Amino acid sequence: MRELEYPFDNSYILKHKKLLKRKLLEENNNYIEKKIALLGGSTTSDVKLILELFLLNYGIKAEFYESEYNKYWEDAMFDNEKLMEFKPDIIYIHTTNKNILEYPLITDKNSDVKAKLEREYERYSTMWNHLFETYNCTIIQNNFDYPTYRLLGNKDATDIRGKVNFLTRLNLKFGEYAEEHQNFFICDLNYISASYGLDAWADEFYYYMYKYALSVSAIPTLAYQIANIIKAILGKNKKALVLDLDNTLWGGVVGDDGVENLVIGPETPESQVYTDFQQYIKLHKDMGILLNVDSKNDEKNALDGLNHPDGILKPNDFIVIKANWEPKSSNLEEISKELNIGIDSFVFVDDNPAEREIIRQNFPNVGIPDLDSPYKYIKLIDHQGYFEGLNLSKEDYNKTEMYKENIERKKSMSSFKNYEDYLISLEMTSTIDEFTSNYMARIAQLTNKSNQFNLTTKRYTQAEIEDVAREQEYITLYGSLKDKFGDNGVVSVIIAHQKGEKLDIDLWIMSCRVLKRDMEYAMMDALQKEAKKRGVKEIYGYYYPTLKNGMVRDFYGLQGFEKIEEDEHRNTVWKFIVTDNYENKNKYIKVEDKNE
């Protein structure tokens, strides 16, 4: 919804929140449902209501628990039946500099200040530890916005008795905790308030009148940032950029002006703008964002432009380059197919409003920043929070290479007469094992990203993944796949739970990158083996249809299950009898079992 996309109009949102909610609920009925507890150190009413809107806009329907005014500490630390019953998936702690109990005094000795810093920090770290133990969920914690006055003026920043200095150091300690805890995320109030403008942010009128720790007008700005963190936790980040070339990555039109006349490089203010923009885009590649080109150009001209000696981005940085005269929407669709990722995962970057409008009409969930002047490109993309960084996994750093290898595989496939020979030529090896700690982030990521090869479309946070990995009655399996072109990393996950001699499969997913490679059979073999070892006699598989997972409708049939139930929504239940004469189905992957 345009009203909720950056740059949005804060006062419009505040004034029309009821209307917006109504419209959002009418538009969509395909939501991820999550429970969010909001523990506040000041009034949270509108924070909740506006957060709800931004989340709905991301396809997340939140049920809220809201603490009483300034009862965050009590709610977190003491027996809390209501919160226990609520079972939060995410706890957001909305505290601000108003909640500091003991600021340093000008008369304090160094040791006093140090002790105050420790006490303040421990009050929070104790609370987080307690919340993790009690609720085992994800925590989002505000760090601190700067104070409204500086007793020492500029020296407040450097004198350890200054409030600015105190809050800066406290924020660093919060940051360290976040580095050490995977399910803990900081909502960077310090940056958000600075970016908004601290004086406007801390309009004390709203504090004295309603005990809001920030100006009511700033609430949408904050709520948007919280929503960005939450959507990222739930695997709804964007994954790829699709970029126009002329007047987007450089100034001028390569086909008309010639490569030598493109505006890029250190010479002029305008050419510096494009250089910096290319640099900004290139930084995304190392973060695992897939770069692609969708440009109306002859391919030769496009490549010549990308080989400009002053350019930062080179053809090699991109996975798919579509430079032709087809409609951009069909190019985008093809890029989506070639990369095998959903079209909603793309951000379309184009200076031409007409092209953007066509994409918006066809694919409303593609990220489409409204570019205007080139010097604003970076800010306009960056403030969208498309790629909110969480726990980057090893796979992310190598992603461009992995996708390129995949395209190589496709090419090599066409040189074989039959598919079996091709599979043999890939020299595949796989590791299949129970969930281990190094892979928790990647496994959680996969459970939230997989839509097509996903039998039940059940989503897990990392905390929940760690939870099932610990439980005795759960069988958890991850599978990674290597071949001669490279390492695909973790590509398949199964979660099943045992009740006596029966085993229910809660989740079976696979990355579509490795479809038709026998990986699904290798997983079945491993599941069967583990089930048998545990004395399971019957395995039950469930298929719940969604708009996206039609490809696995008969998956369990192919694995030798028998369909035993189908309801009016076409949900199906499948049964597999564990026998002694099971024959492994996977023929082409060499599986390294860590337990052997």
Partner 1 sequence: MSREEIFKELDEIFREVFDDESIHVTEETKADDIEDWDSLEHINLIVAIEEHFNMKFNMNEVTTMKNVGEMVDIILERI
Contact residues toward partner 1 (CB under 8 A) are 11, 14-19, 22, 43, 45-46, 205-206, 208-210, 212, 216-217
Distance (Å, whole) CA 412 – CA 425: 9
- Least distance to partner 1, CB of residue 216, Å: 5
Distance (Å, whole) CA 285 – CA 240: 9
> Phi/psi at 291 (nearest 5 deg)?
-95, 135
- Least distance to partner 1, CB of residue 39, Å: 18
Structure letter (DSSP) for residue 173: H
- Least distance to partner 1, CB of residue 16, Å: 6
Of the pair 70, 476, the CB lying nearest partner 1 is at 70
Of the pair 19, 392, the CB lying nearest partner 1 is at 19
Of the pair 21, 150, the CB lying nearest partner 1 is at 21
Of the pair 205, 397, the CB lying nearest partner 1 is at 205
Beta bridge partners of 33: 61
Distance (Å, whole) CA 73 – CA 158: 30
Q: How far is CA 378 from CA 279, 281, 372, 383, in A?
A: 10, 9, 11, 8
Of the pair 23, 282, the CB lying nearest partner 1 is at 23
Sign of CA dihedral 329, 319, 342, 338: positive
- Ranges assigned E (strand) in 516-585: 538-543, 562-566, 572-577
Of the pair 17, 502, the CB lying nearest partner 1 is at 17
Structure letter (DSSP) for residue 94: E
Which residues, 6 or more positions from 533, have their beta carbon under 8 angstroms from its beta carbon?
none
- Least distance to partner 1, CB of residue 20, Å: 9
Our measurement of the distance from residue 423's CA atom to the centroid of its chain's CA atoms, rounded to an integer in Å, reads 33
Supply angle C-alpha 253, 259, 261, rounded to 5: 75
Q: Token digits for 492?
A: 């398949």
DSSP states along 504-531: EEEEEEE-GGGTTSSHHHHHHHHHHHHH
Of the pair 13, 339, the CB lying nearest partner 1 is at 13
- Least distance to partner 1, CB of residue 214, Å: 13
Of the pair 12, 78, the CB lying nearest partner 1 is at 12
Rg (C-alpha) for the chain, rounded Å, is 26
Of the pair 18, 516, the CB lying nearest partner 1 is at 18
Give the SS3 label for residue 105. Answer: coil
Kindly report whether the peptide bond that precedes residue 7 is cis, defined as omega within 30 degrees of 0.
Answer: yes
- Least distance to partner 1, CB of residue 54, Å: 17
- Least distance to partner 1, CB of residue 19, Å: 5
For the beta carbon of residue 489, count every other beta carbon within 10 angstroms: 21
- Least distance to partner 1, CB of residue 14, Å: 6
The terminus-to-terminus CA distance of the chain in angstroms comes to 53
- Least distance to partner 1, CB of residue 24, Å: 13
